[in-house]
Structure 1
Amino acid sequence: MRMTRPMLAGAGAVAALVLAGCGSSGDAAAKVPPTATGSLESLAADVRCKPNIQTDADTIRQAICTAPAGRFVLATFSTDRGQREWINEAKDYGGYYLVGRKWVAVGDDGTVTALRGTLGGDVEIGTDHHAHSGHRS
């Protein structure tokens, strides 16, 4: 039986998916809970933080939190688009972003990693400007 190019491409994609699953232990994924949902207050309560509200608008609510995991900014959004626009702009400043559905927590690497163990979500990393901060002689 001779395979055509589209069939080979499809078979290659399936093989890549199967092999990708074989190489990982699955432990890291097993430790991340389903992504939390809810209001800013309920998310803060999940990580044992009393939020210090900084912005309380229709489109965004933002607070500073200090929790056992560390100090971080927690923001909730009224729309997915508003959240993505905010993250895209904020990432220019660097940092670590734990992203859930219509919420984001921003802090250092250790804090975001600890929060992920409770809130789930995906980690995104902002732009690293350290290489660009040097002065030329």
Structure 2
Amino acid sequence: MKSVTAPTARLARHAALAGSLALLPLTVACGGIGDDEASPDGRKSKSPAISAQQAQVVAPAKVEVIAGLTGCEVKIRVDADELREGICHTKDGDYLITTFPEEKYQQTWLDSISPYQGTYLVGTRWVVSAQPKMLNRFRTKLGGDVVHVTGTGPTAAPSAS
């Protein structure tokens, strides 16, 4: 005869696992240095102190989290259902950080930039647009892949017709 408690216990374990996995992003996102806390070197910090590995756990990372990892205070310029985009102004140069709530929105965005030339750092539902030298430095902090877009749009040369 089969025990009735075995499926119930298994269901309870699955529910507990699902609940703890659902809380993991909140735990990681809330950790780190707050506005009033000093970093180990004594400086005050407004950006969260988390690692790239932790940022990937919360994927898609928030614009503010990526900005903190790259060392800037971001100014949000687009806050839409399909994407969030922020701009960073630093002494080394300006760059954009774009995050997407779903993979399909990121793919649409990547498809839409194909007519233009550029180099981008592409991660899990996020993209950083900057000068290649900055992207290589960011890659060590954020992960992702450096993607070169060669441009497939119309040329300026007249056609031979």
Normalising by structure 2, what TM-score?
A: 0.56
Q: 2:95 aligns with which of 72, 76, 84?
A: 72
Please name the residue that 2:74 is paired with: 51
Give, in whole Å, the separation in 1 of the partners of 2:116 and 2:143.
23
Which is worse superposed, 54-63 or 68-77?
68-77
Q: Using a 3 Å threshold, how does the CA distance of structure 1 residues 112 and 118 change in structure 2: closer, same or farther?
A: same
Native 8 Å contact 2:114 2:151 kept in 1: no
- Counterpart check, 1:93 vs 2:116: yes
Following superposition, the deviation at residue 57 of structure 1 comes to: 1.1
* CA distance in 1: counterparts of 2:130 and 2:139, whole angstroms: 12
Contact 2:119 2:148 in 1 (8 A): yes
What root-mean-square deviation, in Å, do the aligned CA atoms of Structure 1 and Structure 2 show?
Answer: 2.8
Say which of 136, 139, 161 aligns to 1:113: 136
Asked if the contact 1:36–1:100 (Cα under 8 Å) also holds between the matched residues in 2, the reply is no
Cα deviation, 1:37-73, whole Å, max 9, x if unaligned, reads 3211111101111111110112200011134653211
Q: Distance in 2 between matches of 1:47 and 1:57?
A: 23
Structure number with greater Rg is 2
Shift in alpha-carbon separation, 1:34–1:70, aligned structure 2, 3 A? farther
- Residue-pair matches, total: 105
Which structure 1 residue ranges, 4+ long, deviate > 6 Å from structure 2? none
3-state SS of 1:92 partner = coil
1:93-130 residue CA offsets vs partner (Å, 9 max, x unmatched): 1111101111000122112112112111011111247x
Structure 1 position 40 matched with structure 2 position 91: no
- Higher RCO (CA < 8 A, seq sep 6+): 1
- Percent identity (aligned): 30
Q: Of 89, 105, 126, which residue of structure 1 is paired with 2:149?
A: 126
Bigger strand share:
1
Unpaired runs of at least 5, structure 2: 1-51
